Structures are given as structure tokens and as C-alpha cells.
Amino acid sequence: GGELFDRIVQKTHYTEREAQNVVRTLAKALEYCHRKGIVHRDLKPENILLSSEDDEEAQIKIADMGFARPVLDAGMETSCGTPSYVAPEILLGQRYGTAVDLWSLGIIMYILLC
């Protein structure tokens, strides 16, 4: 088990198929949260937990919901999250919504593949 961050450090490289499995699972979890009107706002490898050392068998869970909030119709304004994973609209102080989680997911996908 452990964090995705630790797995990335140990493994050093994910195949496209392995990265696809991780990203697909995270996208489904985010879709569920977003349908419920929740935005995470701090998605990063340290906040993704794996239930097993075996990547094929591991369940993936999103953790640390400390910055998670209901999405406001007018958008959100609070600047929060981990700088390396934060979407541009948060950094620019603009209103934002659930798309900021997808930006963070894209950063994670990039890390897995590079």
C-alpha cells in the first residue's frame, strides 16, 4: 500500500498502460465527486493511496479532503492547493470550478509518463 508518490519514486517509470489504469481510476473518482458537487482542490500523488504493493491489484483512493468543498454556482475564489499541481485560474486569482481537479490529474499523468 502507501501513497502514489512513494510508488512513483520506487518505480521510477510507469508504462502507458499502467499510467492509463491509474488515471482512469482517478478520473472516475473525480467524476463521482464532481457529480456530487464536490471539488477536491489538492489532488497530488501524496493524496492518492494504494491498497496494495501490486499495481494490478491495488485499489486507488483519493485522500486528504481538507481543501474539498461544495462547488459554488458562481465559482470559487479561495487560493489553495499545492503549487506544482494548482490550475492557472487559482494562481491568477480567478473564479474556478471542478476543472481545477482535472488540471491536477493532467499533471499527475505527466509525472507517471515521464
Give tens-digit pLDDT for 48-92. Answer: 999 988 777 889 999 999 999 999 888 999 999 999 999 999 999
37-63: string of b/e by CB count within 10 Å (b at 16+)?
ebbbbbbbbebbbbeeeeeeebebebe
Q: Active-site residue among 6, 42, 54, 101? A: 42
94-97: which pairs have CB atoms within 8 A and are 24 or more residues apart? 97/39, 97/71
**Residue 73, pLDDT score:** 84
Q: Report the top-level CATH class of 2-113.
A: mainly alpha
**Which residues lie across from 90 on neighbouring strands?**
none
pLDDT tens sequence across 9-30:
998 789 999 999 999 999 999 9
Q: Looking up cell 476543472, which residue turns up?
A: 99
Which of the four pLDDT bands, split at 50, 70 and 90, describes residue 105?
A: very high
pTM over 0.85: yes
- Residue among 113, 105, 112 at smallest CA distance from 25: 105
Q: Is 42 marked active-site? A: yes
pLDDT the model gives residue 106: 98
pLDDT of residue 103 exceeding 80: yes
For the segment 79-107, the average pLDDT, to the nearest whole number, is 97
